[in-house]
């Protein structure tokens, strides 16, 4: 049985400052302690408001190394004291995720795919709630496969869609399928696009992002261990996706958008494309080229954060 999750006052409410992070779980109020197991944190073992109460920006991405590099990059961009190489992984007690705090910025890895990012988001959102954070902006940065656009293009997602090009995420709860909206914050997307215009040689566009459940068959690749379709069928599907407005493909955006929306978080997805899937399946660019591509979303997010903190003004460029 499938049904639409009913709208609530929290989902529709308009906030003017002090936008809190909501958890929609009445059982949490009955718990003496909340153990954030996969983050190696807890409400009794850690003073979460003291540790995280000043967080205003959360950036999440798949790779632990990439998110550590982003934290070090933000340390330099914000002009913070000390050596960024000395930053400690807050989640060092677990091997599931990494987490670094850089002033008001939290950088966290989420692994690959919907299940991995979903687990991280549940505990991250509870962390922000317990820490009494407000006015938090959360952005997923990552890599993706492009559709009809040049490799190295940065896609700012306007709508996250599923494999049927629908703007929804299907969450199985007990024996029901709950359909949740994948609406993202359009003002934030517009602000990111405006920031991108101040970076030279930085191809950026706004488009739909398709989220799939795997990298190979789910994305129409011909090079996996299993494949039951022809190249013609693959191209026909990808062209239909392109015609529906899809400009890149990844594996996390729908659940990310759905969970952030339900919990009152302004959210965006910014991914660079590593190839054009209409031209092939395998990533053939050199390591150096790919490394430069992967820095592009980080550059854009750093510019947004600095602008919000009053450390950068467009007229200076």
Residue 294 annotated as binding site: no
In whole angstroms, what is the distance from residue 66 CA to residue 39 CA? 18
Residue 119 annotated as binding site: no
Task: Mark residue 199 as left, alpha or beta (left: phi above 0; alpha: psi -120 to 50; beta: remaining).
Answer: beta
Residue 140 annotated as binding site: yes
What stretch of H or E contains 160? strand 154-161
In whole angstroms, what is the distance from residue 65 CA to residue 120 CA? 17
Residue 45 annotated as binding site: no
Query: CA angle, corner 23, sides to 22 and 29, nearest 5?
Result: 120
Q: Which structure tokens are listed for 145?
A: 């496969």
DSSP β-ladder status, 154-161 and 204-211: parallel
Residue 221 annotated as binding site: yes
In whole angstroms, what is the distance from residue 249 CA to residue 145 CA? 5
CB contact at 8 A, 133 and 80: no
In whole angstroms, what is the distance from residue 76 CA to residue 295 CA? 14
CA torsion 189-194-196-201 (nearest 10°) is: 140
Residue positions counted in the chain: 317
Closest CA to 151 of 23, 30, 293: 293
Annotated binding-site positions: 96, 140-143, 219, 221
Annotated binding-site positions for phosphate: 96, 140-143
Annotated binding-site positions for substrate: 219, 221
């Amino acid at each position: 049985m499938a049904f639409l999750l009913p709208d609530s006052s929290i989902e529709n409410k308009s906030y003017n400052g002090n936008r809190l992070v909501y958890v929609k779980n009445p059982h949490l109020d009955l718990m003496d302690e909340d153990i954030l197991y996969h983050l190696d944190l807890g409400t009794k073992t850690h003073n979460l408001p003291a540790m995280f109460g000043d967080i205003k920006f959360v950036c999440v991405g798949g790779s632990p190394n990439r998110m550590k590099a982003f934290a070090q990059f933000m340390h330099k961009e914000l002009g913070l004291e000390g050596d960024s190489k000395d930053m400690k992984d807050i989640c060092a007690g677990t091997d599931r995720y990494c987490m670094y705090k850089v002033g008001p910025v939290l950088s966290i890895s989420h692994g690959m795919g919907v299940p991995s990012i979903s687990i991280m988001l549940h505990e991250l959102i509870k962390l922000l709630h317990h820490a009494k954070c407000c006015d938090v902006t959360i952005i997923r940065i990552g890599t993706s496969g492009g559709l009809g656009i040049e490799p190295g293009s940065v896609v700012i997602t306007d709508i996250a869609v599923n494999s049927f090009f629908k703007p929804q995420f299907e969450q199985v709860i007990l024996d029901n399928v709950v359909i949740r909206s994948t609406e993202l914050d359009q003002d934030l997307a517009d602000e990111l696009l405006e920031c991108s215009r101040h970076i030279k040689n930085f191809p950026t566009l706004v488009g739909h992002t398709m989220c799939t459940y795997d990298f190979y068959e789910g994305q129409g690749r011909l090079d996996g261990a299993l494949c039951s379709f022809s190249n013609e069928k693959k191209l026909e599907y990808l062209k239909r996706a392109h015609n529906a407005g899809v400009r890149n493909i990844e594996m996390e955006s729908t659940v990310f958008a759905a969970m952030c929306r339900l919990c009152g978080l302004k959210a965006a997805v910014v991914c660079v494309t590593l190839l054009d899937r209409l031209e092939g399946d395998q990533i053939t660019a050199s390591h150096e080229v790919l490394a430069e591509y992967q820095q592009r979303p980080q550059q854009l997010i750093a510019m947004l954060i600095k602008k919000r903190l009053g450390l950068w003004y467009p007229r200076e460029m």
